[in-house]
Chains A and B, each alone.
Chain A
Amino acid sequence: MAQFDLNDDSVVCIVGSGAGGGTLGNELAQKGIKVVILEAGGRYEFTDFINDEWDSFTQLAWKDMRTTSGSWRVHKDFPNLPAWIVKAVGGSTTHWAGASLRFQEHEFKTRTTYGELPGANLLDWPITLAELEPYYAKAEYKMGVTSTNGIPRLPGNNNFKVLQAGATKIGYKEVHTGNMAINSQPRDDRDSCQQIGFCFQGCKSGAKWSTLMAEIPKGEATGRLEVRPGSMATHIEHDASGKVTGVVYVDADGKTQRQKARIVAVAGNSLESPRLLLNSASPKFPDGLANSSGQVGRNYMRHMTGSVYGVFDRPVHMYRGTTMAGIVRDEAALNTKRGFVGGYELETLSLGLPFLAAFLDPGAWGRSFTAGLDDYPNMAGLWIVGEDMPRETNRVTLDPAVKDGNGMPVASVHFDDHDNDVKMRAHAYQQGSAIYQAVGATRVFQTPPYPSTHNLGTNRMSANAKDGVVNKFGQTHDVKNLFVSDGSQFTSGAACNPTLTIVSLAIRQAETMQGMMGRGEI
């Protein structure tokens, strides 16, 4: 396995090993480029994962202090846990459910399609679906997405069958077990799905694609990729010309280190990536690196989410089998007749008893609440994933008072729902409830959003440097050898889970980066 010198300034240094960073690292290594990935968390192999919600949370989740403000309910219910994401090698690809959907064409052109919306900072992406399609295809092949490349869809579990029956009954047409990066048959040296459940806790059969299972070992096998767990990046440094020169980080032993680099790629998820750029402010870049637009940290999106749980008079056992076992896509299509712009997906979701107690109705107590839990085996659940509106005021900043153990200001997350988000959520709650009522639900719970799993937009792509942080390749407008490689690049969030798009962009970025390096541009 490769081990690069701290002073080796020919490496590409990537901060973060999740969908963006892990994929980029492997892609570059395959192309003959030397890569060091700094990962803040530890390394846990799939055999180490724990089928226990709280124990797994302790093992994998990013629990370091963060602060929140704004009118979103997460601020009230989970003031120091704005996001449920992972601090471990593989990043949140260890935790994700596997839903792998492509953006629709209009979702790359939200400003053009939706027009100007007061209070929203809509912008078209500088790329089109057609430009990304070849990379979507590569990502789907790499990840083994079901219903692509001749890979059969997964069988539906009980939770899906309830969703499917209800959705079909109220007239929905596009209902299936999803395009999932979970093996329905053995593929790519990974086993097929054993319907374990606990997809969020790390897949113990290895059937689910993650950078931990798939990208990183392949990259390491080239001898050109080194992953350093326990390495918390604190600053990106630059020279007098403004080019970045390396990354300062605190290693697993608490020692400050400095990895020199030819190129730096930031892929720490949409809360940590802007935090790192903002914390890298210098006399030359007083507002933070790559922030001449003032857009670093802004336009934070988290998807319009929520859940609906139906209670029935007969058993469902929703927790058996894949967590995200199926989807209704009808409401994701472009349709402006519902009183809001954008669309949403309804995807099955299940929680075990411990997490359902924590998330079903945070703060609730008494018999109305406990009666729901008493019927746990008779519950079915779905999660809403809708396009939320980018807003300049929804943003990640450095907390002025609170610092982490390394003395680095923590990320402070401010979020207010846009009116469009509120209208869309009301519609989705109504439709989700109707699905379960159509098959005999005796009660439905409309569950508020959890801490965010889809964190997007805080270093967004823009055609013009004044509107965003990075160009169409994720290269920062301000610093040519500094890239952003995670979901913080997203100009808008679309009505679908983001991972497939993050991976596609990373594959494309690796290709671009190789070309730029070959031409001596960076």
Chain B
Amino acid sequence: MRVVDRRSKVTRRIVLRGGAMAVPGLAAGLAIVPGAAWAQAARNLAPATLTTLARAARDIYPHDHIADAYYITAVSGYDSGTPEIRHLVTEGCTLLDAEAQKRHGTPYLLVANETDRVAILTAIEETAFFGKLRSDLVVSLYNQKPLWAKFGYEGSSADKGGYINRGFNDIDWVS
């Protein structure tokens, strides 16, 4: 069977291509960590808000084989969102932090254990903020073309002649 090469080809260009922000130079900065350089480039949102959004994005749709850069790209569009959207996500992150402070005495971003962060997300699952973030991520995360190969999805096919000679019926474990 012809299988898809799922190895990572991710660099910072992913964010530059997909995101709405100007991201400063180094790919090493593309991690979801407090004080991340990429978040400092935000024009409208507080850097901590963007970092928290990226952390929440990763916790909502966790894929361990996917680099932080994709989650950062997925939420970066909020920086250029309408004032209403920016208000919604800012308030949402405040809520996440408040819940984290109450339970663990730290902001959401610094809650070390994923299970604990998921419990916080579950607690706010019914809010408009969570609903908006989760449903936006379905497109802003999974519709990033550079991500598709990492899930073994090959994308467009007509431009490659379809699959008639590229394995449409090459399965070798059923008969």
- A residues whose Cβ falls under 8 Å from a Cβ of B: 51-52, 54, 155-158, 161-162, 164-165, 193-198, 204-205, 314-317, 319-321, 352-354, 357-358, 363, 365-367, 369-370, 373-374, 376-377, 439
Contacting residues, chain A, for B4 (C-beta < 8 A): 317, 377
- Report which residue of B60, B153, B154, B161 has the largest number of chain A beta carbons within 10 angstroms of its beta carbon: B153
Contact B152 A51 (CB under 8 A): no
Kindly provide the distance from the CB of B153 to the nearest chain A CB, expressed in whole angstroms.
4
Listed by A's residue number, 21 A-B pairs whose Cβ atoms lie within 8 Å are A157-B169, A158-B168, A158-B170, A158-B171, A161-B174, A165-B174, A193-B164, A197-B157, A205-B158, A315-B3, A315-B152, A320-B168, A321-B168, A321-B169, A353-B153, A358-B139, A365-B121, A365-B134, A370-B62, A373-B63, A377-B151
Kindly provide the distance from the CB of B101 to the nearest chain A CB, expressed in whole angstroms.
23
Contact B151 A373 (CB under 8 A): yes
Q: When A357-B138, A370-B61 are in contact, do A51 and B167 touch as well, CB less than 8 Å?
A: no
- B residues whose Cβ falls under 8 Å from a Cβ of A: 1, 3-4, 60-63, 65, 118, 121, 134, 138-139, 141-143, 147-148, 151-159, 161-164, 166-171, 173-175
Question: Which chain A residue has the least Cβ–Cβ distance from B142?
Answer: A357
The A interface, classified by DSSP as helix, strand, loop or mixed, is loop
Besides the known contacts A158-B167, A315-B152, A320-B166, 16 further A-B residue pairs in the complex with CB atoms under 8 A apart: A54-B143, A155-B169, A157-B163, A158-B169, A164-B174, A195-B162, A197-B157, A198-B156, A315-B1, A352-B155, A365-B60, A367-B62, A374-B65, A374-B151, A376-B152, A377-B153
Kindly provide the distance from the CB of A471 to the nearest chain B CB, expressed in whole angstroms.
44
Contacting residues, chain B, for A164 (C-beta < 8 A): 174
Contacting residues, chain A, for B148 (C-beta < 8 A): 353
Kindly provide the distance from the CB of A438 to the nearest chain B CB, expressed in whole angstroms.
11
Question: Which chain B residue has the least Cβ–Cβ distance from A160?
Answer: B169
The B interface, classified by DSSP as helix, strand, loop or mixed, is loop
Contact B167 A317 (CB under 8 A): yes
Contacting residues, chain B, for A196 (C-beta < 8 A): 157-158, 162-163
Q: When A353-B142, A357-B138, A366-B62 are in contact, do A51 and B171 touch as well, CB less than 8 Å?
A: no
Kindly provide the distance from the CB of A51 to the nearest chain B CB, expressed in whole angstroms.
4
Contacting residues, chain A, for B139 (C-beta < 8 A): 54, 354, 358
Q: When A51-B156, A161-B174, A377-B3 are in contact, do A353 and B151 touch as well, CB less than 8 Å?
A: yes
A496 to B162, CA, bound (A): 28
Contacting residues, chain A, for B158 (C-beta < 8 A): 51, 194, 196, 198, 204-205
Question: Which chain A residue has the least Cβ–Cβ distance from B161?
Answer: A194
Contacting residues, chain B, for A365 (C-beta < 8 A): 60-61, 121, 134
Question: Which chain A residue has the least Cβ–Cβ distance from B114?
Answer: A367
Contact B118 A319 (CB under 8 A): no
Q: Which of B141, B153, B174 meets A319, CB within 8 Å?
A: B153
A241 to B33, CA, bound (A): 75
Kindly provide the distance from the CB of B137 to the nearest chain A CB, expressed in whole angstroms.
8
A471 to B65, CA, bound (A): 59
Contact B174 A439 (CB under 8 A): yes
Contacting residues, chain A, for B118 (C-beta < 8 A): 366
Q: Which of A195, A205, A357, A367 meets B168, CB within 8 Å?
A: A195
Contacting residues, chain A, for B155 (C-beta < 8 A): 51-52, 352
Contacting residues, chain A, for B170 (C-beta < 8 A): 158
Contacting residues, chain B, for A376 (C-beta < 8 A): 151-153
A196 to B166, CA, bound (A): 10
Kindly provide the distance from the CB of A316 to the nearest chain B CB, expressed in whole angstroms.
6
- Report which residue of A321, A353, A367 has the largest number of chain B beta carbons within 10 angstroms of its beta carbon: A353
Kindly provide the distance from the CB of B146 to the nearest chain A CB, expressed in whole angstroms.
12
